[in-house]
């Protein structure tokens, strides 16, 4: 038995914020604005995993009106989502994350991002794909106003 889910998230780029993506802090002039650490890729991934079991979305489980999640490390949210999946008797097969951003350069950080997500989800690193693309300077991502991310997750019943 298999199920799949997909997720999408966007955060605005602003000055004077740290840039956290896929659980690691990236050197950049701007960071993402949000109630938590605004890790856009982890949020998309959480929504993909929740979506696979039709468990609503990240905002439903971790509301941004709750002071508990102010500045929250999104890795903890991902860990909790994985716990919810396994509690229901499912295991994570593989995940595939795409980040859409004009800057910074992600290439040097991809392996560290994959390893970080694999560690948080407690899966093998070859089950975790992270890709980054520009949008050819088009749209809000192209104008560096924000960063978007999509994710797909496949889960299975062992
Ligand atoms: Zn988000």
pLDDT of residue 91: 98
Residue 137 C-alpha to ligand 1 middle, in angstroms? Answer: 22
| CB burial string 101-126: b at 16+ within 10 A, e below | bbebebeebeeebbbbbbebbebeee
Distance CA(28)–CA(81), nearest Å, equals 28
**Given a cut of 90, is residue 68 above it in pLDDT?**
no
pLDDT of residue 71: 86
Q: How many CA atoms lie within 13 A of 137 on its CB side?
A: 0
Residue 158 C-alpha to ligand 1 middle, in angstroms? Answer: 30
pTM of the model: 0.97
Residue 143 C-alpha to ligand 1 middle, in angstroms? Answer: 19
Residue 144's H or E segment, with its range, is: none
pLDDT of residue 5: 98
């Amino acid at each position: 038995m298999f199920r799949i889910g997909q997720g999408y998230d966007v955060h605005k780029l602003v000055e004077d914020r740290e840039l956290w993506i896929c659980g690691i802090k990236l050197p950049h002039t701007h960071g993402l604005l949000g109630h938590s650490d605004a890790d856009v890729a982890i949020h998309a991934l959480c929504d993909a995993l929740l979506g696979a079991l039709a468990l609503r979305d990240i905002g439903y489980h971790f509301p941004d009106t709750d002071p508990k999640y102010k500045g929250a490390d999104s890795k903890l949210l991902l860990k909790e989502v994985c716990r919810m999946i396994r509690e229901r008797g499912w295991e994570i097969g593989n995940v595939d994350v795409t980040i859409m951003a004009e800057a910074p350069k992600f290439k040097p950080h991809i392996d560290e991002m994959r390893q970080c997500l694999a560690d948080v989800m407690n899966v093998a690193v070859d089950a975790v794909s992270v890709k980054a693309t520009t949008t050819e300077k088009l749209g809000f991502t192209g104008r560096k106003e924000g960063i978007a991310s999509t994710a797909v997750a496949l889960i299975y019943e062992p």
